[in-house]
Amino acid sequence: MEHKRIVPLDGGYNCRDLGGYRASDGRRIKWGRLYRSGSLSYLSAKDQVEFARRRVTVDCDLRSRNEQHNYPDKLWPGARQIDAHFYSKSGQEEAEAEEAWRKGRKKLPHLPSYLGVIYQQNMLAPRTREVMRLIFAEMLDLPEGEALLYHCSMGKDRTGMVSVMVLMALGLDDREIMRDYLLSRENPRTINEADIDDQLGRQIAKMNETQVSQTAFYGITETIRQMWGGFAGYFESLGFEPGDLDRLRDKFLE
């Protein structure tokens, strides 16, 4: 059976199947189990039928609650939406992120990249670890034959961060992970669903308008290595047992 990376959609954007990428142990990610995407707010009825056909039952929405409220996902039969927002309107989560950044930044390499620094800040933020624990728990609980999707508005930054961590969890090396991360360059369209009248909205809009790069990519991978000693340490910091990482790989690799 021929598999295709890009999921063609009428009203969706930057939607990709993560299947086929090779892990370091020689196994490959199963096709049709994990998807990354941009906005799902403009799906056509045909798009919804396609996601239902692919048995995508978990939709992890990484957007801020403001974006979720103003541009709700168009769900399909059998889909369950998970609020996995990176940012809130309250300011509390952003204050926690700033404090974590002040404490940890001296351990991290200087990156001449706007996105790279934003990624470093997000990787240190307590809220990001909550989001990743939620997504990995959903992955571990996902029934056989069903699929999980996660998305933001553009499908490149918040979605890109999650994808890098998911692919690290599944044992891919940096070169293979970067192949996926940089594919967003081929989707130059800009979708802004954030409210540009507030500081958070302007930050999200600037991220959406900034192109992904190799330098920015290292803002994710090297933060994990410098702060947690590698992905296994990061995964355990989320509250998982060491055996859960093996179970995750056995579930999604073949």
Give Cβ neighbours of residue 29 (< 8 Å, ≥ 6 apart).
Answer: 18, 19, 20, 21, 23, 170, 252, 253
The arithmetic mean of pLDDT across residues 63-90, rounded, is 88
Report the number of distinct structural domains present in the chain. 1
Examine residue 45 and state whether it is found in any structural domain, yes or no: yes
Percent of the chain beyond pLDDT 70?
86
Q: In this predicted structure, what is the pLDDT of residue 116?
A: 83
218: tokens are 């290292």
Examine residue 203 and state whether it is found in any structural domain, yes or no: yes
Examine residue 10 and state whether it is found in any structural domain, yes or no: no
The CATH number that applies at residue 122 is 3.90.190.10
95: tokens are 């204050």
User: Tens of pLDDT along 79-123?
Assistant: 999 999 986 545 566 677 777 777 877 888 888 788 888 888 889
> 192 with 153: CB under 8 angstroms?
yes
- SS3 letters across 167-195: HHHCCCCHHHHHHHHHHHHHCCCCCCCCC
Distance CA 244, CA 202 (A): 38
Examine residue 8 and state whether it is found in any structural domain, yes or no: no
Examine residue 6 and state whether it is found in any structural domain, yes or no: no
Q: In this predicted structure, what is the pLDDT of residue 76?
A: 97
Examine residue 153 and state whether it is found in any structural domain, yes or no: yes
172 pLDDT band, cuts 50/70/90, is very high
Query: Can you tell me which residue has the tokens 């799902």?
Result: 40
Examine residue 1 and state whether it is found in any structural domain, yes or no: no
Q: 3-state SS of the chain: helix, strand, coil percent to 5?
A: 50, 10, 40
Rg (CA), the chain: 17
Distance CA 139, CA 36 (A): 13
Beta strands in the chain (DSSP E): 16-17, 34-37, 56-61, 80-83, 147-151
Examine residue 226 and state whether it is found in any structural domain, yes or no: yes
| DSSP secondary structure, 138-160, as one string | HHHHPPTT-EEEEE-SSSSSHHH
SS3 218: helix
Q: Tell me how far CA of residue 90 lies from CA of 47, 51, 150, in angstroms.
A: 34, 33, 23
Percent of the chain beyond pLDDT 90?
63
202 pLDDT band, cuts 50/70/90, is low
Distance CA 59, CA 12 (A): 14
Residue 248 structural domain: 16-252
